[in-house]
Amino acid sequence: MSNANVKNRLVGDMPKIGIRPAIDGRRGGIRESLEDVTMNMAKAVAEMLSSNLKHANGLPVECVIADTCIGGVAEAAQTAAKFERAGVGVSITVTPSWCYPLETIDTSPHIPKAIWGFNGTERPGAVYLAAANSAHNQKGLPVFSIYGRDVQDMGDGSIPDDVQNKLIQFAKAGLAAASIRGKSYLSLGSVSMGIAGCIADESFFQQYLGMRNEYVDMTEFVRRMERGIYDKDEFERALKWTKENCGEGIDVNPEHLKRTEDEKVQDWETVVQMTLIARDLMIGNPKLAEMGYGEEALGHNAIAAGFQGQRMWTDHFPNGDFMEAILTSSFDWNGIREPYVLSTENDTLNAVTMLFGHLLTDAAQIFADVRTYWSPDAVKRVTGSELTGLAQNGIIHLTNSGPASLDGTGRQTKDGKPAMKPFWEITDNEVQECLKATAWSPAVDFFRGGGFSTDYQTLGGMPVTMARINLVQGLGPVLQIAEGHTVDIPQEIHDVLDQRTNPTWPTTWFVPSLTGEGVFSDVYSVMNAWGSNHCSLSYGHIGSSLITLASMLRIPVSMHNVAEESIFRPSVWTAFGTANQESADYRACAQLGPLYK
């Protein structure tokens, strides 16, 4: 991987983590005895977080520590001013002792915040934590409470594992929220085939995410292609790479609809041009300014985007599958790099879900239809064979017309097992394995303008999390989560089931982890309860991190199979009820309202 690909592609500095060492401000021996131990706590947290976290673009996470311990409102104000100048987007207060809560807490309304109250008996850090939680809750400023399970001795500079885990989970989710704020979602086109998720709900983007919405008609692609508003040198390099690495797959179209070899050659040139243009529209390209296109060179500062495609585009031009698959992958002709977030059919809500997953895992995401639930009986009837292992209770067929990232093949590895990794961990050999596992089949008949679809089968054995944000009238956004695994099924079963949908599209066989309760009592119920035709699939079981991020943004979670002991939300959530966390989540989000209202 080239270090040149570790960079911030967007306008604005990466958010930093602010560390606030709070202290008992009483002089004459009390404060003086605590200065070093309190500041050392802050330094230890900063070192731990900087060592364990990176931004999704590969840049290091920076921590900013207050200039002094915070014993009163003046020092709190000085710290707030420093954090604002430094671009702090996440705040963590640490203390081993009692402090004056109202004078020392962080009152910035839009910055996710947490407090680690040291569990020690010499000085009551836990007492401050409880009092500060109460102050935050009374003021309507949610705060995450971090309190170690085991008592430590005063001056113990270690951070217990349970505290580290909560600090990392909070910080990663907080950085995700802060990274999204102020960026754009770019709609390339409008509503595809009547899908409601394509509607760019500006109140959702502005009030819940702090984002702005940008819109570009798909005719802009035509203008840039016909007038050559793209880097010609890069186009030649990209086309050469594509010819060498993207082999064509089977063509299932009837003879009278098959495109000629000359048409396919033109299609390849068009889809490569589309890829360059979509990227330039998202983040800009200084090369365009050298060509005399200063406005186009700026881009739209889009951290996520979506391409409508169907049907106005695809009835006449090649489809967007190559563009979407390559951009959302962790590599292209420029090498291994951070994946882009580009949603098929301009599904704005799936794009946001993909963005959440990317910022929490640092890895590429799989865009897919939640296409079919196959029961064991149905599989036996259709194929004559039985599902076994993890698949024995039924499987969910995740597939779409071919826009899934190539990372979704599962040909990267962690500890010898299939994985989807942050781009800085991916090797050149793994890139080649992903490319070799993918065939590019000519698009099927309802893509009248031609194009190509990614055809691959995801390897089983990956822990994954399926997620989706939905908008509900009168309720607002809600998040669905289903942790589970990709599974391998016998090839003879796959071939029959895949043929019934489309053999030229990427397939991921998914099995949710069942809890025996509610919608997770069986696989069918998970499929039946899913709120949309689309989902995003992330590597790893990240349900708890998604719940933490959702609580920061005040988005309730309507279904999940995450163990209750792994759920980490602001302390005020317990005031809305402890017997049923799902109901309490709804009440808390409704009462607090959107983060940026």
Mean pLDDT (whole number) for 284-305: 98
**How much is the pLDDT for 120?**
84
Phi/psi region, residue 193 (left: phi>0; alpha: psi -120 to 50; beta: rest), is left
Of the listed ranges 221-225, 501-505, 513-517, the least confidently predicted one is 501-505
Residue 125 has pLDDT above 90, yes or no: no
209 close to 352: Cβ distance less than 8 angstroms: yes
CATH number, domain at 164?
3.40.50.1070
Distance, C-alpha 323 to centroid of its chain: 19
Same domain, 203 and 172: no
CA–CA distance, 212 with 521 (Å, rounded to integer): 40
CA–CA distance, 373 with 366 (Å, rounded to integer): 18
Tokens of 105: 């807490």
In a domain, 46, yes or no: yes
| Active site amino acids | 345, 369
Query: What residues form DSSP beta bridges with 596?
Result: none
Same domain, 203 and 94: no
CA proximity to 191, closest of 367, 313, 282: 313
pLDDT of 506-561, one tens digit each? 999 999 999 999 999 999 999 999 999 999 999 999 999 999 999 999 999 999 99
**How much is the pLDDT for 263?**
96
Mean pLDDT (whole number) for 20-35: 96
Same domain, 133 and 226: no
**How much is the pLDDT for 126?**
86
Of the listed ranges 42-46, 60-64, 252-256, 278-282, the least confidently predicted one is 252-256
**How much is the pLDDT for 155?**
84
In a domain, 597, yes or no: no
In a domain, 115, yes or no: yes
In whole numbers, what is the pLDDT of the chain averaged over residues? 96
Same domain, 372 and 434: yes
CA–CA distance, 421 with 338 (Å, rounded to integer): 11
350 close to 536: Cβ distance less than 8 angstroms: yes
Tokens of 300: 């739209």
Same domain, 109 and 235: no
Indicate the residue among 158, 180, 202 that finishes a domain: 180
Residue 2 has pLDDT above 60, yes or no: no
Indicate the residue among 146, 180, 214 that finishes a domain: 180
Residue numbers belonging to the annotated binding site for Mn(2+) = 345, 369, 534
Specify the amino acid at residue 567. I
Mean pLDDT (whole number) for 482-509: 96
**How much is the pLDDT for 544?**
98
Residue numbers belonging to the annotated binding site = 345, 369, 534
Indicate the residue among 156, 180, 204 that finishes a domain: 180
In a domain, 270, yes or no: yes
Of the listed ranges 121-130, 214-223, 327-336, the least confidently predicted one is 121-130
**How much is the pLDDT for 4?**
76
In a domain, 312, yes or no: yes
In a domain, 214, yes or no: yes
pTM listed for this prediction:
0.97
Three-state secondary structure of 276-313: HHHHHHHHCCHHHHHCCCHHHHHCCCEEEEEECCCCCC
> What percent of the chain is predicted at pLDDT more than 70?
99
Overall residue count recorded for the chain in this entry: 597
Residue 1 has pLDDT above 50, yes or no: no
Same domain, 221 and 164: no
Same domain, 104 and 228: no
Same domain, 174 and 79: yes
CA–CA distance, 561 with 582 (Å, rounded to integer): 11
pLDDT of 29-65, one tens digit each? 999 999 999 999 999 999 999 999 999 999 999 999 9
User: Could you list the residue range(s) of the whole structural domain that residue 263 is in?
Assistant: 184-592
Same domain, 134 and 230: no
CA–CA distance, 570 with 392 (Å, rounded to integer): 38
Same domain, 217 and 171: no
Same domain, 420 and 530: yes
Q: How far apart are the first and last CA of the chain?
A: 41
Same domain, 242 and 311: yes
In a domain, 416, yes or no: yes
**How many domains, the chain?**
2
367 close to 534: Cβ distance less than 8 angstroms: yes
Mean pLDDT (whole number) for 267-293: 98
**β-bridge pairing 212-216 and 184-188:** parallel
**How much is the pLDDT for 154?**
85
CA–CA distance, 578 with 468 (Å, rounded to integer): 25
CATH number, domain at 267?
3.20.14.10
